[in-house]
Amino acid sequence: MAPQLPLLGECTLFVSDICGFDTVDGMDPESLARLMNQTFQSFNRTIVEAGGFIVSTIGDATIAIWDASHVAPSHAELAINCGQAILQQRQKAQSEGGICSCLGILIATGKMTGAMIGGHLQFVGDPWITIKRLESFKISGRSQMFYTSKTLAHLTTQETPKPIGRIKEVGGNDAKVQTWLMFLLMWVEGVLLS
């Protein structure tokens, strides 16, 4: 029996990637695997509690989707709030002696669909392209969350972050879209603007 497709239409795609987790010096593989498992259980719990659908966990990356059934708060707002909660969890774990690693979260909003492709539930649509374009803004050695003005337009309770750059809009005309960086942990706001 094929799994129920969780969404069709506009949604918000969430991709988190832990950097430096798989190269911890001095930690035996079993301890590292146990620590990674605890970390992903925490991430997954936070995503599910925020109404997200976990598409997959691959290596040190998690992919999740919030569909259009989330109206108030919106799918985008739930994904942003979830990203903030996960970044705060990482900060707390590191302050309590956990492994110091960076976490990059990329969030994109747009039309997607789910389908069985090659025997696996897959999701396709414009947010995947936007996520790839947002990757160019990642700063090595820093935890961060990036999203575009298209996602920002769905937020109601969020302060407006400062724009840090532009990427090409997916589909339609060749307009540009503002890209936003959510400063959350230990950065000085505006560090990328100079």
User: Could you tell me the pTM of the whole model?
Assistant: 0.81
CATH architecture of 8-182: 2-Layer Sandwich (3.30)
Q: How confident is the model at residue 162 (pLDDT cuts 50, 70, 90)?
A: low
Which distant-in-sequence residues (6+ apart) come within 8 Å of 90 by Cβ?
Answer: 101, 103, 143
143 close to 94: Cβ distance less than 8 angstroms: no
Query: What is d(CA 83, CA 71) in angstroms, rounded to the nearest whole number?
Result: 18
State residue 173's pLDDT score.
43
State residue 192's pLDDT score.
31
State residue 14's pLDDT score.
96
Name the average pLDDT for the chain: 76
Q: Tokens for 154? A: 């769905």
